[in-house]
A and B are shown apart, each in its own frame.
Chain A
Amino acid sequence: MDFNISDEVKLMQESVRDWFKRNLPLDKMREIDQKGHPMPKEVIEGLAGLGVIMGVIPEERGGQGLNWFKQAAIAEEIGYGDPTAACAAAFMAVMTGWGFTLDRYASEGIRRDFIRPAIAGKKFIGIATTEPGGGSDVAGFKSKAEKSGKNWILNGEKTFISGVEECKLWGGGYWVNVRTGPAPAGAAHKNMTSFFVPIDAPGVEMTECYRDAGRMAISTAGFTMTNVKVPDDYRLGEEGKGFYYTMEGFDNARILIGASSVGITQRVIDEAIPYIKERKTFGIPLAKNEGIQFELSDIYKEMEASRLMYQKTAWMQDIRYDEEGWLERKGKAKTFQPTDIAKWIAMLKWKAPALALHAAERAMLWLGAAGYTDEYPFQMAWRGVMSYVVGAEGGQNIQKIVIGRELLGNEFVPYK
């Protein structure tokens, strides 16, 4: 056991921090937050150039061959650099968490035409599980695919999907879950199959963008699929196994969300401290008031706990992939059961974004009116990180259900 962070990881974090200082300082961030999506193309190209987008994909597949520990450390800095969470959501959770998982189950053609260009910052790849009839509730999925010769015909609608506008603009596509058979009662995860659907495939129609509360630089929209034809080659992994691949994707995305939320909390603290030390009311600095100081201490304590939590979780995931194989699943996880890792991931996904939200809210209160303006990034962080609490990559309550399931057993899952 060694809690030292290596020179290598430190330098990676330093590079990301320097990149944001140079390319997206606070005034630029404020501008992007006000202007809203689409995300400027320079941002994805710059981050891709640094090698941080899907850096965890093995070198032979065009990535950097990082591991989850390093990728998560990078995600922390991306949260720090862009506390609105737009970059973390688009490029870490979605493109990297899901992109890595997609690469494991995709055909060579998808890798060549979509994943590699996305690693280079030229295309967008995302995830589309949520439907009008169901986000948390997998059984509510209605989209379906039917086999037709060597092709599949997809029909349905996906909603609250990150990056649809950017995907249309830059090219790319989505990991899409559909039914390829009925949803048996109590076993709704059966007969779910995953496909890759290019955004420009005939029959794919983007729906209007939502006006979200936060992370304004990345779009949230939906798309309908009307008789969309994709080759069998665009099926991910085995037919009917989509649920399992999807859980793996969620796991990877959630680790990066946890880590980037720690970065957001750190940024909030770093921005707040100089002000509360400097500003005096009733003759003493704000920071001398226990009502403020003790809250700061509490948030700091929770942040360090969250940081240890993401580090441990990423470390467990690294051991899992060392055992299962990084390119594709060859072996079985031995040291940690994937369900046990999922429990840690759920704890992280619950704790870290909620803490960042709390920190941003408290910082606004500590600073008073100044904290409520966009001179400081608190309100942008607060609006952005709320997306992780309400639902993006799984709502907070769903994390509690995962933890409860691991502690109590499947028969205690509330909705079963």
Chain B
Amino acid sequence: MRIIVCVKQVPDTTEVEIDPKTGTIIREGVPSMLNPFDEFALNEAIRIRGTGQIEIVALTMGPPQAEEALFKCLAIGADRAVLLSDRAFAGSDTWATSLALSRAIEAVGDYCAVFCGHQATDGDTAQVGPEIARQLGIPQMTYVEKVEELDGKSVTCLKETDEGYVRLKAKLPALVACISPSSFVPIIPKMGQILKAKKKTIEKWGADKVAKPGDKFGLDGSPTQVVKTYPPPKKKGGGVKISDPPDAAVRKLVEYLRKEGLVR
């Protein structure tokens, strides 16, 4: 039995910069990180596995340097890591990405669950998870803050909604898209775990390893195309920045709100 965790390497920045000429995200010189929601998904997989016999496989589709993110997954506690990388995947939209990932999930095989992050902090579409479930024909649970139980037959999760929490149960295999609660305390890999991860090999798969006849990946397999990408216009002026220690800052803020007639 396996839990396959889909992870993505994303730029480690809150302000993604876009090349005005090509309309693509500038990745050069921007440090990368493991998508935080995916890190949470992996932590949930490790926690819910407990001491059971479930193998955890971290899977990513990305360029060769995405190995770095997989290496971190191994150090955190994944048993295996698969890097899906091929020129043929270039230009994939979310549909083509999820097709490639579901093919890879099938190639890994023997899975009881697929864990994803809710969304990737660069693309922010939150589509890949649900699309993988659709491609695999398995049930999906989204906005999952906690995986409560995973037995041989089903998985039970706590889903966050605007009104509160909903407890969901699905037959296995199922897809779980996780969203980290503010209380999330990630596993910090110990030196020994990092050294152990270094001894493992990251499996590298190309399109031919996973493709089924008729599959179209990359730009070819993408029903949507990015026409133009641009950063939102910067908000000008307005607002007041208060940078004092908390007590003084709160006092100043209240003063300001009163003066502006925003509170009484």
B38 within 8 A of A: no
B226 within 8 A of A: no
Contacts of A55 in B (CB 8 A): 191
B195 within 8 A of A: yes
Cβ-closest chain B residue relative to A18:
B188
Contacting chain B: which of A7-15, A105-113, A313-321, A379-387? Answer: A7-15
Contact A11 B188 (CB under 8 A): no
Cβ-closest chain A residue relative to B75:
A11
A258 CB to closest chain B CB, in angstroms?
A: 20
B146 within 8 A of A: no
Contact A22 B194 (CB under 8 A): no
Task: Give B232-264 as 1s and 0s: 1 = Cβ < 8 Å from A's Cβ atoms.
Answer: 000000000001010000000000000000000
Contact B71 A15 (CB under 8 A): no
Contact A8 B185 (CB under 8 A): no
A228 within 8 A of B: no
Chain B residues 45 to 101 lying within 8 A of chain A, measured CB to CB, are 67-68, 71-72, 75
Chain A residues 250 to 281 lying within 8 A of chain B, measured CB to CB, are 278
Cβ-closest chain A residue relative to B243:
A278
A314 CB to closest chain B CB, in angstroms?
A: 16
Contact B198 A8 (CB under 8 A): yes
CA distance A49 to B190 in the complex (A): 7
Most buried by B among A11, A19, A22, A51: A11
Classify chain B's interface size.
10 to 19
Cβ-closest chain A residue relative to B71:
A7
B192 within 8 A of A: yes
Contact B243 A74 (CB under 8 A): no
B189 within 8 A of A: yes
Contacts of B67 in A (CB 8 A): 7
Contacts of A50 in B (CB 8 A): 188, 190-191
A27 CB to closest chain B CB, in angstroms?
A: 11
Contact A8 B194 (CB under 8 A): yes
Contacts of A64 in B (CB 8 A): 191-192, 195
A225 within 8 A of B: no
Task: Give B178-204 as 1s and 0s: 1 = Cβ < 8 Å from A's Cβ atoms.
Answer: 000000011011111011011000000
Contact B191 A15 (CB under 8 A): yes
Could you list 19 examples of A-B contacts with CB < 8 Å? A7-B67, A7-B71, A8-B71, A8-B194, A8-B195, A8-B197, A11-B75, A12-B191, A15-B191, A15-B194, A18-B186, A18-B188, A19-B188, A51-B191, A51-B192, A52-B191, A65-B195, A66-B191, A66-B195
